[in-house]
Structure 1
Amino acid sequence: RGMGAHRFDHCALNGVDISASAKIFVDALDFAVTEELVDEGSGTRPGIFLSCSNKAHDVAFLGYPEDGKIHHTSFNLESWHDVGHAADIISRYDISLDIGPTRHGITRGQTIYFFDPSGNRNEVFAG
């Protein structure tokens, strides 16, 4: 069996003006801001997390000096055990590991990040 992802969970998108991007999602798509990263020195928001469901976030915008870049796509697993199993699959099939297994900084969920052969960053997580 593979990693056992049972649904697409969220994506994180990079861009220069993430406040404007978040505003469109709030105003036009009825998303709600659920978390923000705030740089207390400059007052800027380098990360804005939004949801249109009961999840912690469905989309995140992360500040980046270039528009139109995907930070990662994320797929949901059931448990920490499944994240460990995903780590085994990543190792077994020599998939390029990025980070993990570890705890996620924002939601405290269990996570592992990896790259597919096209260079796209992906996450599987539980919690």
Structure 2
Amino acid sequence: MPDRILRLQHVEVRVPDLELCTAYYTEVLGLIETARDVKDGADRVFLKCWDEREHHSVVLRQAPTYGLDHMSFKVAEAADLDYFTEKLEAASVPVKRYAARELGPGWGEAIRFDSPSGHLVELVHGMERVGNMLPMTNPPPRPQDLVGIAPPRLDHVFVMAEDVGEFTRFFIELLEFRLTEQIVANDGHQLATFLEHSHTPHDIAVITGPNGGLHHFAFWMDDWNGIREAADTLAYHGVTIDVAPTRHGVTRGYTTYFFDPVGNRNELFTGGYWVDPDFEPITWTEEEMGRAIFYYHRQVNERFFTVHS
């Protein structure tokens, strides 16, 4: 059976300084602004990466604090919203439904519900298609007028939960995600898990921490050289780099972590592997957690576990 959920569609994050963050995401990261609006009394800016064909993948909302408002996943068909509504409500999870554009410009029809960790989760279908800045006939590999780092697309979101096992079961049993990797404590409970629908190492991951917390959201880069060059750009602009370019053990990916101007952690990610539906999950032990997260350094800095709620 084909997947009903295809991939991560977008994240909406809170920012105390909307104009400063808009400048950072457009001029340093190189995302493209597609719209602005006011929702529930707060200004919002809608952004997309250059190779994304749909209206937005990042939404910035003016708010007193920083952190994650919600995460949204794309479903293949409109009927999939009905399917998951029935499945969630049968498990006593309240679901709210929204018409197309009810939630904002470019938005598709959507359902929303809370995960056990208190994260607001959305499934959406029918986002407005705005194109990827390239012609549909005889296109070049990339546009010639890109600004900043210009990652081609959003890749994954990484959150925090007090009970990683409960969070993981919810996403596997009700949303039909597949487990790719896990870090397991000596007493057997899960410290972190990595889950996918897009046949990549992860579309969402969770690590032990406060309920509702955001660890980071990540953008895809096409290769390792792109990540190294992006770090040069980040350093040039004075962006706070959390972890310089290195490699993960989990996912086998290459990475660098850094912070937007108000404290939301970003990542650039590349590499990994292909995941078939019958993929057997990989387990890392508690003693090897440092190597799992940063394979070369074999240890994790304390700031890596900073909470973004």
1:82 maps to: 226
Cα offset for 1:118? 1.5
CA offsets 1:7-66 (integer angstroms, 9 cap, x no match): 111111101012111111111111011111111x211110011001111010011011x2
**Which structure is richer in relative contact order (CA contacts within 8 A, separation 6 or more)?**
1
Identity of aligned residues (%): 38
1:42 maps to: 187
How far apart, in 1, do the equivalents of 2:195 and 2:217 lie?
Answer: 15
1:16 maps to: 162
Aligned partner of 2:200 among 32, 41, 55: 55
**TM-score w.r.t. length of structure 2:** 0.40
How far apart, in 1, do the equivalents of 2:161 and 2:173 lie?
Answer: 18
What 5-or-longer segments of structure 1 have no aligned partner?
Answer: none
* Larger proportion of strand: 1
3-state secondary structure, aligned to 2:170: helix
| 1:3 counterpart = 2:3 | no
3-state secondary structure, aligned to 1:54: coil
Answer whether contact 2:248 2:254 (CA < 8 A) is retained.
Answer: yes
Cα offset for 1:2? 1.5
Aligned partner of 2:173 among 27, 40, 52: 27
Q: Which amino acid aligns with 1:100?
A: A
Answer whether contact 2:148 2:233 (CA < 8 A) is retained.
Answer: yes
Greater gyration radius: 2
- Displaced runs of 4 or more, over 3 A: none
Cα offset for 1:108? 2.1
Answer whether contact 2:178 2:196 (CA < 8 A) is retained.
Answer: yes
Answer whether contact 2:246 2:254 (CA < 8 A) is retained.
Answer: yes
Q: Which amino acid aligns with 2:165?
A: S
Cα offset for 1:109? 1.7
Aligned partner of 2:255 among 108, 111, 115: 111
3-state secondary structure, aligned to 2:200: coil
How far apart, in 2, do the equivalents of 1:20 and 1:59 lie?
Answer: 15
**TM-score w.r.t. length of structure 1:** 0.94
3-state secondary structure, aligned to 1:88: helix
Cα offset for 1:120? 0.7
How far apart, in 2, do the equivalents of 1:109 and 1:21 lie?
Answer: 23
3-state secondary structure, aligned to 2:250: coil
